[in-house]
Protein backbone atom coordinates (compact mmCIF):
# COMPACT_ATOMS: atom_id res chain seq x y z
CA UNK A 1 0.00 0.00 0.00
CA UNK A 2 1.37 3.46 -0.80
CA UNK A 3 2.31 5.51 2.23
CA UNK A 4 0.01 8.13 3.69
CA UNK A 5 1.81 11.46 3.70
CA UNK A 6 1.36 14.69 5.63
CA UNK A 7 2.87 18.17 5.63
CA UNK A 8 2.33 21.67 6.87
CA UNK A 9 0.66 23.41 3.92
CA UNK A 10 0.91 26.92 5.32
CA UNK A 11 4.16 28.84 5.85
CA UNK A 12 6.09 27.86 8.99
CA UNK A 13 6.18 30.39 11.82
CA UNK A 14 3.70 31.80 14.29
CA UNK A 15 0.32 32.49 12.70
CA UNK A 16 -3.38 32.48 13.54
CA UNK A 17 -3.94 29.16 11.82
CA UNK A 18 -1.77 26.45 10.34
CA UNK A 19 -3.09 23.92 7.84
CA UNK A 20 -1.78 20.37 7.91
CA UNK A 21 -2.57 18.32 4.85
CA UNK A 22 -2.85 14.53 4.83
CA UNK A 23 -3.23 12.23 1.81
CA UNK A 24 -3.17 8.50 1.27
CA UNK A 25 -5.06 5.29 1.95
CA UNK A 26 -4.80 5.51 5.75
CA UNK A 27 -6.23 9.04 5.93
CA UNK A 28 -9.69 7.94 7.10
CA UNK A 29 -8.23 5.75 9.84
CA UNK A 30 -5.88 8.51 10.99
CA UNK A 31 -8.57 11.18 11.03
CA UNK A 32 -10.82 8.85 13.01
CA UNK A 33 -8.03 8.10 15.47
CA UNK A 34 -7.29 11.80 15.96
CA UNK A 35 -10.81 13.21 16.04
CA UNK A 36 -13.02 10.34 17.15
CA UNK A 37 -15.09 10.00 13.98
CA UNK A 38 -14.96 10.96 10.31
CA UNK A 39 -16.69 14.27 9.62
CA UNK A 40 -19.09 14.50 6.66
CA UNK A 41 -17.20 14.83 3.34
CA UNK A 42 -16.05 18.32 2.27
CA UNK A 43 -17.72 20.01 5.24
CA UNK A 44 -15.72 22.12 7.71
CA UNK A 45 -16.23 20.44 11.08
CA UNK A 46 -14.91 21.53 14.45
CA UNK A 47 -13.24 18.63 16.28
CA UNK A 48 -11.12 18.04 19.34
CA UNK A 49 -7.90 16.33 18.22
CA UNK A 50 -6.35 13.88 20.67
CA UNK A 51 -3.21 11.80 20.88
CA UNK A 52 -3.40 8.01 21.32
CA UNK A 53 -2.98 8.48 25.10
CA UNK A 54 -5.98 10.81 25.23
CA UNK A 55 -4.08 14.09 25.60
CA UNK A 56 -5.80 16.95 23.72
CA UNK A 57 -3.65 18.41 20.93
CA UNK A 58 -5.93 21.15 19.64
CA UNK A 59 -9.45 22.14 18.82
CA UNK A 60 -9.39 22.30 15.04
CA UNK A 61 -11.48 22.63 11.93
CA UNK A 62 -11.20 19.39 10.02
CA UNK A 63 -12.00 18.69 6.39
CA UNK A 64 -12.39 15.21 4.93
CA UNK A 65 -12.01 14.73 1.17
CA UNK A 66 -12.71 11.12 0.19
CA UNK A 67 -10.94 10.07 -3.04
CA UNK A 68 -11.11 10.27 -5.97
CA UNK A 69 -12.64 13.77 -5.72
CA UNK A 70 -9.75 15.32 -3.86
CA UNK A 71 -6.70 17.33 -4.94
CA UNK A 72 -4.49 14.23 -4.98
CA UNK A 73 -7.22 11.87 -6.16
CA UNK A 74 -6.65 9.84 -2.96
CA UNK A 75 -8.41 10.01 0.38
CA UNK A 76 -7.22 13.28 1.87
CA UNK A 77 -7.83 15.60 4.81
CA UNK A 78 -6.97 19.06 6.05
CA UNK A 79 -6.55 20.03 9.68
CA UNK A 80 -6.88 23.77 10.35
CA UNK A 81 -4.97 24.12 13.60
CA UNK A 82 -4.13 26.99 15.87
CA UNK A 83 -0.87 28.22 14.35
CA UNK A 84 1.55 27.73 17.24
CA UNK A 85 4.73 25.71 16.88
CA UNK A 86 3.84 23.37 19.76
CA UNK A 87 0.39 22.57 18.35
CA UNK A 88 1.83 21.84 14.89
CA UNK A 89 4.61 19.68 16.34
CA UNK A 90 2.11 17.75 18.49
CA UNK A 91 -0.17 16.97 15.56
CA UNK A 92 2.79 16.07 13.32
CA UNK A 93 4.08 13.70 15.97
CA UNK A 94 0.66 12.09 16.39
CA UNK A 95 0.34 11.59 12.62
CA UNK A 96 3.82 10.07 12.41
CA UNK A 97 2.91 7.82 15.33
CA UNK A 98 -0.15 6.66 13.37
CA UNK A 99 2.15 5.70 10.48
CA UNK A 100 2.08 8.73 8.18
CA UNK A 101 5.34 10.06 6.82
CA UNK A 102 6.36 13.64 6.07
CA UNK A 103 5.72 14.53 2.41
CA UNK A 104 8.59 15.53 0.14
CA UNK A 105 8.57 18.68 -2.00
CA UNK A 106 5.63 18.69 -4.41
CA UNK A 107 4.53 15.21 -3.38
CA UNK A 108 0.82 16.08 -3.13
CA UNK A 109 0.86 17.58 -6.62
CA UNK A 110 2.87 14.64 -7.92
CA UNK A 111 0.18 12.29 -6.63
CA UNK A 112 -2.46 14.46 -8.31
CA UNK A 113 -0.48 14.15 -11.55
CA UNK A 114 -0.12 10.38 -11.17
CA UNK A 115 -3.85 10.06 -10.50
CA UNK A 116 -4.53 11.93 -13.77
CA UNK A 117 -6.06 14.93 -11.97
CA UNK A 118 -3.49 17.31 -13.49
CA UNK A 119 -1.26 17.30 -16.56
CA UNK A 120 2.40 18.08 -16.11
CA UNK A 121 2.03 21.63 -17.44
CA UNK A 122 -0.77 22.15 -14.93
CA UNK A 123 1.40 20.81 -12.12
CA UNK A 124 4.05 23.32 -13.19
CA UNK A 125 1.38 26.00 -13.08
CA UNK A 126 0.60 25.10 -9.46
CA UNK A 127 4.25 25.72 -8.56
CA UNK A 128 4.25 28.95 -10.56
CA UNK A 129 1.12 30.19 -8.84
CA UNK A 130 2.66 29.57 -5.43
CA UNK A 131 5.83 31.41 -6.53
CA UNK A 132 4.00 34.26 -8.30
CA UNK A 133 5.09 37.70 -7.11
CA UNK A 134 3.36 39.85 -9.70
CA UNK A 135 -0.19 40.01 -11.00
CA UNK A 136 1.04 39.07 -14.47
CA UNK A 137 2.78 35.95 -13.16
CA UNK A 138 -0.32 34.90 -11.26
CA UNK A 139 -2.55 35.48 -14.29
CA UNK A 140 -0.30 33.44 -16.54
CA UNK A 141 -0.01 30.57 -14.05
CA UNK A 142 -3.77 30.50 -13.50
CA UNK A 143 -4.49 30.38 -17.24
CA UNK A 144 -2.00 27.51 -17.54
CA UNK A 145 -3.55 25.72 -14.56
CA UNK A 146 -6.98 26.07 -16.15
CA UNK A 147 -5.61 24.29 -19.22
CA UNK A 148 -5.00 27.12 -21.73
CA UNK A 149 -1.55 25.82 -22.57
CA UNK A 150 -2.49 22.14 -22.50
CA UNK A 151 -5.45 22.76 -24.79
CA UNK A 152 -3.20 24.22 -27.46
CA UNK A 153 -0.87 21.21 -27.35
CA UNK A 154 -3.82 18.84 -27.45
CA UNK A 155 -5.15 20.49 -30.63
CA UNK A 156 -1.72 20.21 -32.24
CA UNK A 157 -1.50 16.55 -31.29
CA UNK A 158 -4.95 15.84 -32.76
CA UNK A 159 -3.98 17.44 -36.05
CA UNK A 160 -0.75 15.48 -36.03
CA UNK A 161 -2.73 12.29 -35.45
CA UNK A 162 -4.87 13.04 -38.53
CA UNK A 163 -1.79 13.53 -40.72
CA UNK A 164 -0.32 10.35 -39.28
CA UNK A 165 -3.49 8.36 -40.03
CA UNK A 166 -3.32 9.48 -43.67
CA UNK A 167 0.30 8.42 -44.00
CA UNK A 168 -0.36 5.12 -42.28
CA UNK A 169 -3.15 4.45 -44.76
CA UNK A 170 -0.65 5.07 -47.55
CA UNK A 171 1.74 2.58 -45.97
CA UNK A 172 -0.97 -0.04 -45.37
CA UNK A 173 -2.49 0.02 -48.85
CA UNK A 174 0.54 0.44 -51.10
CA UNK A 175 -1.04 -1.36 -54.06
CA UNK A 176 -4.07 0.79 -54.40
CA UNK A 177 -4.29 4.30 -55.74
CA UNK A 178 -4.40 5.84 -52.31
CA UNK A 179 -0.73 6.59 -51.54
CA UNK A 180 0.11 9.58 -53.70
CA UNK A 181 -3.23 11.19 -53.07
CA UNK A 182 -3.05 10.58 -49.34
CA UNK A 183 0.46 11.99 -48.97
CA UNK A 184 -0.72 15.06 -50.83
CA UNK A 185 -3.48 15.51 -48.26
CA UNK A 186 -1.12 15.05 -45.31
CA UNK A 187 1.36 17.64 -46.55
CA UNK A 188 -0.78 20.76 -45.95
CA UNK A 189 -1.66 19.50 -42.46
CA UNK A 190 2.04 19.21 -41.63
CA UNK A 191 2.78 22.58 -43.24
CA UNK A 192 0.13 24.23 -41.09
CA UNK A 193 1.61 22.70 -37.95
CA UNK A 194 5.14 23.72 -38.91
CA UNK A 195 4.00 27.33 -39.31
CA UNK A 196 2.17 27.36 -35.98
CA UNK A 197 5.01 25.74 -34.04
CA UNK A 198 7.43 28.24 -35.56
CA UNK A 199 5.21 31.12 -34.47
CA UNK A 200 4.90 29.64 -30.97
CA UNK A 201 8.68 29.32 -30.68
CA UNK A 202 9.17 32.88 -31.88
CA UNK A 203 6.81 33.96 -29.08
CA UNK A 204 8.51 31.68 -26.52
CA UNK A 205 10.38 34.48 -24.78
CA UNK A 206 7.19 36.16 -23.59
CA UNK A 207 5.93 33.47 -21.23
CA UNK A 208 9.39 32.67 -19.90
CA UNK A 209 10.06 36.36 -19.23
CA UNK A 210 6.78 36.83 -17.40
CA UNK A 211 7.57 33.81 -15.22
CA UNK A 212 11.28 34.30 -14.58
CA UNK A 213 11.47 38.07 -14.84
CA UNK A 214 12.29 40.44 -17.71
CA UNK A 215 16.08 40.88 -17.69
CA UNK A 216 17.53 44.35 -18.14
CA UNK A 217 21.31 44.79 -18.19
CA UNK A 218 22.98 48.06 -17.27
CA UNK A 219 26.10 48.10 -19.37
CA UNK A 220 28.89 50.53 -20.06
CA UNK A 221 32.46 51.48 -19.29
CA UNK A 222 33.80 51.52 -15.74
CA UNK A 223 32.75 54.66 -13.84
CA UNK A 224 30.05 55.64 -16.33
CA UNK A 225 27.56 55.45 -13.44
CA UNK A 226 26.06 51.96 -13.80
CA UNK A 227 25.83 51.28 -10.06
CA UNK A 228 24.41 54.74 -9.44
CA UNK A 229 21.75 54.19 -12.08
CA UNK A 230 20.80 50.79 -10.66
CA UNK A 231 20.37 52.38 -7.25
CA UNK A 232 18.38 55.29 -8.65
CA UNK A 233 16.03 52.96 -10.54
CA UNK A 234 15.71 50.51 -7.67
CA UNK A 235 15.24 53.32 -5.16
CA UNK A 236 17.70 51.86 -2.69
CA UNK A 237 21.40 51.26 -2.31
CA UNK A 238 21.64 47.81 -3.83
CA UNK A 239 24.97 48.27 -5.56
CA UNK A 240 28.16 49.76 -4.18
CA UNK A 241 29.02 53.12 -5.71
CA UNK A 242 32.67 54.16 -5.56
CA UNK A 243 34.84 56.59 -7.47
CA UNK A 244 37.40 53.82 -8.22
CA UNK A 245 36.99 52.05 -11.56
CA UNK A 246 36.25 48.35 -11.73
CA UNK A 247 34.54 47.73 -8.37
CA UNK A 248 31.62 45.63 -9.59
CA UNK A 249 33.08 42.27 -10.57
CA UNK A 250 30.07 40.05 -10.27
CA UNK A 251 26.62 40.59 -11.70
CA UNK A 252 24.35 42.24 -9.11
CA UNK A 253 20.67 41.58 -9.76
CA UNK A 254 17.81 43.53 -8.24
CA UNK A 255 14.20 42.45 -8.68
CA UNK A 256 11.64 45.21 -9.31
CA UNK A 257 8.04 45.34 -10.41
CA UNK A 258 7.46 47.55 -13.47
CA UNK A 259 4.08 47.80 -15.18
CA UNK A 260 2.91 44.83 -13.11
CA UNK A 261 5.75 42.61 -14.36
CA UNK A 262 8.75 41.19 -12.56
CA UNK A 263 11.94 42.80 -13.83
CA UNK A 264 15.51 41.76 -13.03
CA UNK A 265 17.79 44.76 -13.29
CA UNK A 266 21.50 43.97 -13.27
CA UNK A 267 24.60 45.98 -12.63
CA UNK A 268 27.84 44.42 -13.80
CA UNK A 269 31.53 44.89 -14.43
CA UNK A 270 32.32 47.80 -16.74
CA UNK A 271 33.33 46.70 -20.19
CA UNK A 272 36.98 47.48 -20.91
CA UNK A 273 40.02 45.53 -22.07
CA UNK A 274 41.85 44.12 -19.06
CA UNK A 275 44.49 41.55 -18.22
CA UNK A 276 43.62 41.43 -14.54
CA UNK A 277 42.12 37.92 -14.18
CA UNK A 278 39.32 38.69 -11.71
CA UNK A 279 38.17 41.72 -13.66
CA UNK A 280 38.44 39.78 -16.94
CA UNK A 281 36.10 37.13 -15.51
CA UNK A 282 33.75 39.93 -14.42
CA UNK A 283 33.74 41.33 -17.96
CA UNK A 284 33.08 37.86 -19.38
CA UNK A 285 30.07 37.41 -17.07
CA UNK A 286 28.81 40.89 -17.87
CA UNK A 287 28.93 40.18 -21.59
CA UNK A 288 27.13 36.85 -21.16
CA UNK A 289 24.37 38.35 -18.98
CA UNK A 290 23.93 41.40 -21.20
CA UNK A 291 23.86 39.31 -24.36
CA UNK A 292 21.03 37.13 -23.01
CA UNK A 293 19.04 40.03 -21.49
CA UNK A 294 15.79 41.25 -23.01
CA UNK A 295 16.97 44.86 -22.94
CA UNK A 296 20.26 46.68 -22.43
CA UNK A 297 20.68 50.18 -21.01
CA UNK A 298 23.97 51.52 -22.36
CA UNK A 299 25.42 54.08 -19.99
CA UNK A 300 27.86 56.61 -21.30
CA UNK A 301 29.42 59.46 -19.37
CA UNK A 302 28.08 62.50 -21.23
CA UNK A 303 31.37 64.31 -20.76
CA UNK A 304 33.22 61.52 -22.51
CA UNK A 305 32.83 62.41 -26.15
CA UNK A 306 33.93 59.00 -27.38
CA UNK A 307 32.52 56.92 -24.62
CA UNK A 308 34.26 53.57 -24.14
CA UNK A 309 31.25 52.46 -26.00
CA UNK A 310 33.13 50.45 -28.63
CA UNK A 311 33.69 47.69 -26.07
CA UNK A 312 30.05 46.79 -26.10
CA UNK A 313 28.96 47.74 -29.54
CA UNK A 314 28.75 44.15 -30.78
CA UNK A 315 26.21 43.40 -28.03
CA UNK A 316 23.89 46.32 -28.75
CA UNK A 317 20.56 45.61 -30.41
CA UNK A 318 17.91 47.80 -31.95
CA UNK A 319 15.49 48.85 -29.23
CA UNK A 320 18.21 49.16 -26.55
CA UNK A 321 18.54 52.51 -24.81
CA UNK A 322 21.56 54.80 -24.77
CA UNK A 323 21.63 56.62 -21.42
CA UNK A 324 23.83 59.71 -21.33
CA UNK A 325 24.72 60.15 -17.66
CA UNK A 326 26.17 62.92 -15.50
CA UNK A 327 24.37 65.73 -17.32
CA UNK A 328 24.46 67.64 -13.97
CA UNK A 329 28.17 68.31 -14.57
CA UNK A 330 27.14 71.02 -16.97
CA UNK A 331 29.11 69.82 -19.92
CA UNK A 332 27.09 69.93 -23.09
CA UNK A 333 25.86 66.40 -23.39
CA UNK A 334 27.35 65.82 -26.78
CA UNK A 335 28.92 62.36 -26.59
CA UNK A 336 29.00 62.61 -30.34
CA UNK A 337 30.40 59.23 -31.11
CA UNK A 338 27.90 57.42 -28.86
CA UNK A 339 25.01 59.37 -30.43
CA UNK A 340 26.12 58.45 -33.91
CA UNK A 341 26.36 54.80 -32.91
CA UNK A 342 22.89 55.00 -31.33
CA UNK A 343 21.40 56.39 -34.54
CA UNK A 344 23.11 53.71 -36.59
CA UNK A 345 22.00 50.85 -34.30
CA UNK A 346 18.46 52.05 -33.62
CA UNK A 347 18.88 52.95 -29.96
CA UNK A 348 16.68 55.47 -28.15
CA UNK A 349 18.68 58.20 -26.38
CA UNK A 350 17.86 59.57 -22.93
CA UNK A 351 19.81 62.02 -20.75
CA UNK A 352 20.01 61.54 -16.99
CA UNK A 353 21.91 62.32 -13.87
CA UNK A 354 21.91 59.13 -11.84
CA UNK A 355 23.49 61.00 -8.96
CA UNK A 356 20.89 63.80 -8.80
CA UNK A 357 17.97 61.70 -9.99
CA UNK A 358 17.36 63.87 -13.04
CA UNK A 359 15.66 62.06 -15.90
CA UNK A 360 15.49 58.80 -13.97
CA UNK A 361 11.70 58.91 -13.80
CA UNK A 362 11.43 59.36 -17.57
CA UNK A 363 13.84 56.47 -18.09
CA UNK A 364 11.79 54.25 -15.74
CA UNK A 365 8.64 55.15 -17.66
CA UNK A 366 10.22 54.39 -21.02
CA UNK A 367 11.43 51.03 -19.71
CA UNK A 368 8.04 50.22 -18.16
CA UNK A 369 6.29 50.95 -21.46
CA UNK A 370 8.72 48.68 -23.24
CA UNK A 371 8.21 45.83 -20.73
CA UNK A 372 4.43 46.16 -20.93
CA UNK A 373 4.45 46.19 -24.73
CA UNK A 374 6.64 43.12 -24.95
CA UNK A 375 5.05 40.99 -22.26
CA UNK A 376 1.37 41.76 -22.47
CA UNK A 377 -0.51 39.54 -24.83
CA UNK A 378 -4.12 38.70 -25.37
CA UNK A 379 -3.62 35.00 -24.79
CA UNK A 380 -1.72 32.60 -22.58
CA UNK A 381 1.74 32.20 -24.11
CA UNK A 382 2.41 28.75 -25.60
CA UNK A 383 5.68 28.42 -23.73
CA UNK A 384 6.34 29.40 -20.13
CA UNK A 385 9.47 27.35 -19.41
CA UNK A 386 12.68 26.45 -21.19
CA UNK A 387 11.52 22.83 -20.98
CA UNK A 388 8.51 23.61 -23.18
CA UNK A 389 10.65 25.51 -25.70
CA UNK A 390 13.13 22.64 -25.95
CA UNK A 391 10.44 20.03 -26.61
CA UNK A 392 8.60 22.31 -29.01
CA UNK A 393 11.87 22.76 -30.92
CA UNK A 394 12.29 18.96 -31.04
CA UNK A 395 8.75 18.55 -32.36
CA UNK A 396 9.35 21.19 -35.03
CA UNK A 397 12.56 19.43 -36.15
CA UNK A 398 10.69 16.14 -36.56
CA UNK A 399 7.86 17.82 -38.45
CA UNK A 400 10.26 19.46 -40.87
CA UNK A 401 11.98 16.13 -41.46
CA UNK A 402 8.59 14.50 -42.01
CA UNK A 403 7.81 17.14 -44.61
CA UNK A 404 10.93 16.36 -46.67
CA UNK A 405 10.40 12.61 -46.19
CA UNK A 406 6.82 12.81 -47.44
CA UNK A 407 7.41 10.89 -50.73
CA UNK A 408 8.30 7.91 -48.51
CA UNK A 409 5.23 7.69 -46.26
CA UNK A 410 6.72 5.16 -43.85
CA UNK A 411 9.65 7.47 -43.07
CA UNK A 412 7.43 10.52 -42.77
CA UNK A 413 5.09 8.62 -40.46
CA UNK A 414 7.97 7.77 -38.14
CA UNK A 415 8.96 11.44 -37.93
CA UNK A 416 5.36 12.41 -37.15
CA UNK A 417 5.30 9.86 -34.32
CA UNK A 418 8.46 11.39 -32.88
CA UNK A 419 6.96 14.87 -33.17
CA UNK A 420 3.82 13.70 -31.37
CA UNK A 421 5.92 12.15 -28.61
CA UNK A 422 7.85 15.40 -28.10
CA UNK A 423 4.57 17.36 -27.80
CA UNK A 424 3.12 14.77 -25.45
CA UNK A 425 6.11 15.14 -23.15
CA UNK A 426 5.20 18.79 -22.55
CA UNK A 427 1.91 17.89 -20.92
CA UNK A 428 3.62 14.85 -19.46
CA UNK A 429 1.43 11.96 -20.45
CA UNK A 430 4.61 10.31 -21.70
CA UNK A 431 7.14 11.33 -19.13
CA UNK A 432 10.61 10.21 -18.22
CA UNK A 433 10.90 9.57 -14.49
CA UNK A 434 13.94 11.86 -14.15
CA UNK A 435 12.09 14.81 -15.66
CA UNK A 436 9.29 14.36 -13.15
CA UNK A 437 11.83 14.21 -10.32
CA UNK A 438 13.41 17.51 -11.36
CA UNK A 439 10.08 19.28 -11.78
CA UNK A 440 8.53 18.22 -8.50
CA UNK A 441 11.73 18.74 -6.51
CA UNK A 442 11.40 22.49 -7.17
CA UNK A 443 8.06 22.61 -5.33
CA UNK A 444 7.67 23.57 -1.72
CA UNK A 445 6.76 20.91 0.83
CA UNK A 446 3.02 20.77 1.40
CA UNK A 447 2.19 21.40 -2.27
P1 LIG B 1 30.01 52.37 -12.37
O2 LIG B 1 31.47 52.00 -12.24
O3 LIG B 1 29.64 52.53 -13.81
O4 LIG B 1 29.10 51.48 -11.63
O5 LIG B 1 29.87 53.85 -11.79
P6 LIG B 1 29.39 54.31 -10.33
O7 LIG B 1 27.93 54.32 -10.25
O8 LIG B 1 30.16 53.57 -9.30
O9 LIG B 1 29.84 55.81 -10.41
C10 LIG B 1 31.18 56.21 -10.63
C11 LIG B 1 31.39 57.62 -10.10
O12 LIG B 1 30.60 58.53 -10.87
C13 LIG B 1 30.94 57.77 -8.65
O14 LIG B 1 31.83 58.64 -7.99
C15 LIG B 1 29.57 58.40 -8.78
O16 LIG B 1 29.22 59.19 -7.67
C17 LIG B 1 29.75 59.26 -10.02
N18 LIG B 1 28.46 59.49 -10.70
C19 LIG B 1 27.56 58.56 -11.10
N20 LIG B 1 26.49 59.16 -11.69
C21 LIG B 1 26.72 60.49 -11.66
C22 LIG B 1 25.99 61.62 -12.11
O23 LIG B 1 24.88 61.56 -12.64
N24 LIG B 1 26.57 62.84 -11.91
C25 LIG B 1 27.79 62.97 -11.30
N26 LIG B 1 28.26 64.18 -11.14
N27 LIG B 1 28.50 61.93 -10.87
C28 LIG B 1 27.98 60.70 -11.04
With the CA atoms of 373, 374, 379 and 382 taken in that order, what torsion angle do they form, in degrees rounded to the nearest 10?
A: 180
Please compute the mean of the pLDDT values over residues 158-168 and round it to a whole number.
Answer: 88
What pLDDT score was predicted for residue 246?
A: 61
Summarised one tens digit per residue, pLDDT across range 341-400 is 888 889 999 999 999 999 999 999 999 999 999 998 767 788 999 999 999 999 999 999
Summarised one tens digit per residue, pLDDT across range 59-99 is 999 999 999 999 999 999 999 999 999 999 999 999 999 99
What pLDDT score was predicted for residue 272?
A: 81
Q: Is the CB of 359 under 6 A from ligand 1?
A: no
What pLDDT score was predicted for residue 24?
A: 97
Summarised one tens digit per residue, pLDDT across range 402-428 is 999 888 888 999 999 999 999 988 888
Q: In degrees, to the nearest 5, what angle opens at C-alpha 220 toward C-alphas 216 and 226? A: 65
What pLDDT score was predicted for residue 88?
A: 95
Burial class of residue 422 (count of CB atoms within 10 Å of its CB; 0-12, 13-18, 19+): buried
Question: Mutate which of 354, 356, 358 to test ligand 1's pocket (most atoms within 8 Å of Cβ)?
Answer: 354
> The whole model's pTM is what?
0.79
Q: 84: closest CA among 10, 27, 5, 6?
A: 10
Q: How far is the centre of ligand 1, averaged over its atoms, from the C-alpha of 209 (Å)?
A: 30
Q: Is the CB of 24 under 6 A from ligand 1?
A: no
Report phi then psi at 56, rounded to 5: -75, 130
Q: How far is the centre of ligand 1, averaged over its atoms, from the C-alpha of 283 (Å)?
A: 19
Q: 212: closest CA among 200, 204, 224?
A: 204
Q: Is the CB of 303 under 6 A from ligand 1?
A: no
Amino acid sequence: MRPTIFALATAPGRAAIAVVRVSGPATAAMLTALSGALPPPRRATLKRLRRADGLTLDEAVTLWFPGPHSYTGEDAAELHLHGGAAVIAGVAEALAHLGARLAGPGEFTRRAFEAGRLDLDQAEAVADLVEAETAAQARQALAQLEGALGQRYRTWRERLARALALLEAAVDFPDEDVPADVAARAAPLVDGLVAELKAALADAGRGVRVREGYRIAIVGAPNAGKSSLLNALAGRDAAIVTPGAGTTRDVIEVALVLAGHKVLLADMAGLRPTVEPVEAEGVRRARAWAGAAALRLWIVDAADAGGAWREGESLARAGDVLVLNKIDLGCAADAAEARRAAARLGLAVLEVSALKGVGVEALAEAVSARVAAELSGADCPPVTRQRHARLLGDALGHLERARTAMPAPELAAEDLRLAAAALARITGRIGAEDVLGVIFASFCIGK
